[in-house]
Structure 1
Amino acid sequence: MAKYTKSRTWGMVVYPESAPENWQELLEETFMQFAVSPLHDKDTNPDGEIKKPHWHVILIWDGPVTQNAAMKIAEKVNAPQPVKLESVRGAYRYFTHMDNPEKYQYDEKDIKLYNGFDISSYVSLTKEEKYEAIGKIMDIINDNGITEYIDLLNILRMNDYNLFKVACDNTILFTNVVRSLRHSEDKRR
């Protein structure tokens, strides 16, 4: 990689054996946004040998910085050379091996976000994922006889925040779905 490559997004690997005990606090003190994967302590090499435990880290700057600037952050936590991220979404999904079913599946709940890191700024659902979510919400509406949009939002907010966000982003669609169910029930009476 060229010495003067610039990017707003960099990734690095941190090893428990070499990182300071307070390495996440040291990164927090930079005030940059960052995300930390669950501890990857069940990854294996192709021969089945377990890899050294490590964390994957996404670092976000407000503007483009050089690899040298990224390296200064890595040095604070004794991490190897950071790499420019081509896709924050891809790196974030790799935190749990979401797209690698042959690898150990880590829990998304164990991802840690710091200093306002918001993955939704980098990730949007694919069309297929959106249609799947819409289908799930329609099943919830039908299964529960929901005839008011506010009732739908309350149920989703309490039970599935990702579906809640889809419902919020598709207000017109779901308002019409619940209204349609309400009117079809009125006709049956």
Structure 2
Amino acid sequence: MADSSAVKARYWTFLVYPESAPEDWLGALKRSHGSYAVSPLHQPDDETSKPHHHVIYQHGNTTTLNGAKAAIPEDVPANGYVEPVANPSNMQRYLIHLDDPEKEQFADGANSITLVNGFPLDLTRELSKSEKARIRLDLMSIIRENVVTEYSDFIFGLMDMGDPDMLDYACSHTILFEGVIRSVRNRAKVVQ
């Protein structure tokens, strides 16, 4: 088993129990000049017996556990326990239980998360292969059914639809969709 102090990560997480944390623990995070995302107060559940905040710390680059602990105000993490984050996107979503409807839900959504010193919050979810295939098929259908001949019309139409997953997929697969749209445009010229 690898030495846990040798593990390197850019994102680290820890719990804060308000009852035992320093009174100005949030101010201590701000004064540390590190970037943090702090969950709203989570009530006790099966995993913890006290109200708590989940905190994600983003280091400037990858660092060891000792490096992360040196950067985080030492009396803030509950019991001094800090651990690496394997999937930063999923951990950020966990701050407000986006993917766990059985747990407490927060009416203010992302606005419930306190961002400290410019933490780059990203609550997007990684799509599964089947979801990507479905979106690709839907986008191809939009192009075919609407005889889309300009990429800008395609993107603006997706913006009007308001589906961020479709828009993101189309924008990150520009070559594919530009090629399909060019083919539709060229076919229309031949038919005329």
Deviation at 1:135, TM superposition (A): 3.8
Alignment of 1:61-140 (within 5 A): 61=59, 62-67=61-66, 69-70=68-69, 73-77=72-76, 79-80=78-79, 81-106=81-106, 107-108=109-110, 110-115=112-117, 117-118=119-120, 124-138=126-140
Superposition TM-score, scaled by structure 2 size: 0.64
Determine if contact 1:12/1:56 at 8 Å carries over to the other structure.
yes
SS in 1 for 2:69: helix
Residue 58 of structure 2 is aligned with which of 32, 57, 60?
A: 60
Within 1, Cα distance between the matches of 2:147 and 2:111? 31
Deviation at 1:11, TM superposition (A): 0.6
Within 1, Cα distance between the matches of 2:137 and 2:18? 42
Within 1, Cα distance between the matches of 2:175 and 2:62? 36
Deviation at 1:171, TM superposition (A): 0.4
Q: Is 2:5 aligned against 1:7? A: no
Runs of 5+ unmatched residues, structure 2: none
Structure 2 counterpart of 1:56, one-letter code: H
Q: Specify whether residues 130 and 116 from structure 1 end up closer, same or farther in structure 2 by C-alpha distance, changes over 3 A only.
A: farther
Alignment of 1:150-169 (within 5 A): 150-157=152-159, 159-169=162-172
Determine if contact 1:71/1:82 at 8 Å carries over to the other structure.
no
Within 2, Cα distance between the matches of 1:53 and 1:96? 14
Instruction: Say how many residue pairs are matched.
Output: 184
Within 2, Cα distance between the matches of 1:63 and 1:187? 55
Determine if contact 1:27/1:73 at 8 Å carries over to the other structure.
yes
Q: Specify whether residues 89 and 142 from structure 1 end up closer, same or farther in structure 2 by C-alpha distance, changes over 3 A only.
A: same
Determine if contact 1:18/1:78 at 8 Å carries over to the other structure.
no
CA RMSD of the aligned region, Å? 4.2
Superposition TM-score, scaled by structure 1 size: 0.64
> Percentage identity across aligned positions?
36
Deviation at 1:145, TM superposition (A): 5.8
Q: Is 2:27 aligned against 1:31? A: no
Name which one, 1 or 2, has greater alpha-carbon Rg: 2
Determine if contact 1:3/1:68 at 8 Å carries over to the other structure.
no
SS in 2 for 1:173: helix
